[in-house]
């Protein structure tokens, strides 16, 4: 009986190891970047820059390799960024920072609640306090079927990011 249990135990270990190998291999097969091996950072940047230029939006590549452009949000001039990641080209993220500087502990505490309201109430927009606790970051992000599909949702994500900011501002005034 003990010998049979030992054989079963060794068999289970072999099955677990085989399953782990299959999972690791499957991860490489379905990894987002794997489906687009020729889509380099430069090609993604060019795709985003060409799209923005066609919309008459001046844009440039920032120090991180992301695309940045200015966006008018009523009386605010905002610097929006498109995150460029050739390792995950179907993840599209639009973000902005430096819209709401936090200047006191009281304002920081209120910012956590206001960000929570954005995250709860605004479809697709998220807000969070940065790691230095001195600024609020706003982001709108989604997964795409293909990297070039961002053109279909770009304007909507900008609207969501704008709405996230105004929801945050309203919550900070409350």
| CA 141 distance to own-chain centroid | 5
Chain mean pLDDT for the chain? 84
Q: pLDDT tens, 6-26? A: 554 555 445 555 544 444 444
Kindly state the average pLDDT of the residues 34-54: 90
Tell me the percentage of the chain whose pLDDT exceeds 90. Answer: 64
- Closest CA relative to residue 161, chosen from 134, 120, 122: 122
Tell me the percentage of the chain whose pLDDT exceeds 70. Answer: 80
Report the pLDDT value the prediction gives residue 72, as an integer from 0 to 100: 87
Kindly state the average pLDDT of the residues 78-90: 94
Q: Determine the straight-line distance between the first and last CA of the chain, rounded to whole angstroms.
A: 71
- The topology (CATH level 3) of 40-173 is Yope Regulator; Chain: A, (3.30.1460)
Q: What is the pTM of this model?
A: 0.76
Report the pLDDT value the prediction gives residue 4, as an integer from 0 to 100: 53
Q: pLDDT tens, 86-127? A: 999 999 999 987 778 899 999 999 999 999 999 999 989 999
Give 5's contacts (C-beta < 8 A, 6+ positions apart): none
Q: Domains of the chain: which residue ranges?
A: 1-30, 40-173
Report the pLDDT value the prediction gives residue 29, as an integer from 0 to 100: 44
């Amino acid at each position: 009986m003990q010998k049979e249990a030992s054989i079963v135990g060794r068999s289970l270990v072999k099955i677990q190891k085989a399953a782990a190998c299959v999972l690791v291999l499957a991860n490489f097969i379905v990894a987002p970047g794997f489906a687009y091996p020729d889509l380099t950072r430069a090609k993604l940047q060019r795709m985003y820059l060409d799209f923005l230029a066609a919309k008459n939006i001046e844009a440039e590549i920032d120090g991180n390799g992301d695309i940045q452009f200015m966006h008018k949000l009523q009386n605010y001039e905002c610097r929006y960024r498109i995150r460029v990641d050739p390792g995950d080209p179907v993840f599209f993220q639009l973000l902005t920072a430096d819209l709401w500087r936090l200047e006191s502990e009281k304002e920081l505490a209120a910012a956590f609640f206001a960000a929570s309201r954005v995250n709860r109430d605004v479809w697709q927009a998220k807000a969070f306090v940065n790691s230095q606790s001195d600024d609020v970051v706003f982001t709108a992000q989604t997964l795409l079927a293909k990297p070039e599909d961002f053109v279909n949702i770009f304007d909507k994500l900008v609207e969501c990011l704008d709405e996230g900011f105004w929801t945050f501002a309203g919550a900070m005034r409350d």
